Structure 1
């Protein structure tokens, strides 16, 4: 596991997001992993404001005629407390909406000055406004009834954006490498001694960071068909037709597949490659690589295009096989189309179902964190990004995996 000792001091992490985004939960998780003080705007200022006699500010403090002055005072207290924590501990995690700070300008410069000499690393938690509104309604905080219903503007400062749709563990898997806290690579792993003829890539969570899009689409599917989200999470990595078969009666299967396909294609916008995936994928000779996905052609094509990948010559989707992952057929099909022995293939995966399929096909498996709990990734090697390894072509023309130079 990564150690916070890898990180330099001073370090200031700023976690921003609207109410209901889960920024406090993520901020606490980051602080625990970094062993850093946590300074949360609500903890620092809200108890005092809530303790004031009713009417002393003319209204609730969020909507008071003095709201601008109250905000200025709250953030001044936050900055001062954070500066004290940083100067004594060398690290700090600061949590607040930071709406004005995200826009840049004087408020941002005031925060930077307070956290100097550290340059704040800003984590922006964002998500579907309807989901955030639902969370605010369900948590029952009285102050939420007084918040203005305005959509936040896009950040004007550099940020690492994480989707509120992701679990805290999935968010951490994206945030920690961005902060420089990397999972050590097991350089003694046997996979580094093997030679391969081809590399077979899963798509979602392996080449394209589509996890939040998948979760969002299936959440909307679950709401529409009134099915359990727990059942969906338990079957991650399996084809949609398998999921639908588990969840709905047969007379609704066609309707359900059409509905979720439309949801997933529509949501496939603004997707990004997984860390290091674009470069690693490009390093594999075109005639020796394939994509093997549990998605359908429309969904997989939309996600590839959104993340800036060209479709490979060998592109195995759920429409090409009878048995989807965890059955080995998808990987066996890809190997056959490439004309290589499956035992000479390296599979890159992120989900237990895909890993099981690759192992059953006789392939070596490189697994990526970020979608599934690390302990479920029973692969030959587990990394937190494809920039942690590189692919070399030997003198005989074989492909060999190697650790990348030390990551910073």
Structure 2
């Protein structure tokens, strides 16, 4: 099994439309939460890309057929491919896979078409199906960049992107493809979707505060994060210096409650990822946590971390959702990119707003200030509704 490396990364999200801005936001712990445009008279906040951003220059042949989640994916994929130094024609197109995570599909298009149909009594737009279908983001990335290998979307709620990255790595490891464009995308900031989340009573009105004593919920966000994966020998043969190795992937299901997470399920995913990477828990220097800022998730995740690493020996942990919000199916990709940046800069991003840590969550949660530290190996976790757990291990390239 050849080493799988990350050769390029890209983001398009409220915390940054490019890697430099994204990293500056993460290290400063600068949140991007604003009143949401879809609900102007509500007190609901979200992590939303500025409405003035123009995506018209993307390499998409029929932009009118795209939901916003596909547009964000195409944008982030372009940044990642440029970062990897890959251009159309430099790799046989049938050897390039596109494996994306997406939790909801074309949610904004669905809302628009339901409003046309039921409120305005108008016929749906002729592209309604292709805008809304869950696989559209991967299809549009393949169309935009000429990738003709395996192409599909994985939907596992808030673990979607992490599952997609893990599966993509397995395709590269096995030699089925030479390159995988992978990660996740989500554009859930429609009126109906936000009100549905609001009905669960887990949305904060003041900001996401993971691990904080006064944490009161998550902040839904949009965005896309993309990683370009290759076998190390393939990347070096074309003159690319790999950023990090994607060394391990673990996943599994709680088979328990549809919303309440379990310690055991999280533990199994983390241990499976460590075993896949052939690393011990003590080798991990930093963990990017799922860390949603809800009462149940943060407590369960910390208990699971203590089980895997040992009480008192959990490495430094931070949640970047206090800065980015929770991008649902894209969250794991934004966090994997953050972990790659942390390793390449030797700086762990902070947990934003953590002025009063919950004493029951007795870990080093890197409060408020980014921390300079060597990171030879790191873990990135995603734990989703339905008890769907996934964990990635990244390590420095020897």
Structure scoring higher RCO (CA < 8 A, sep ≥ 6) equals 2
Which structure has greater helix proportion?
1
For the superposition of Structure 1 and Structure 2, which TM-score range results when normalised by the shorter chain? under 0.3
TM-score normalised by length of structure 2 = 0.27
TM-score normalised by length of structure 1 = 0.26
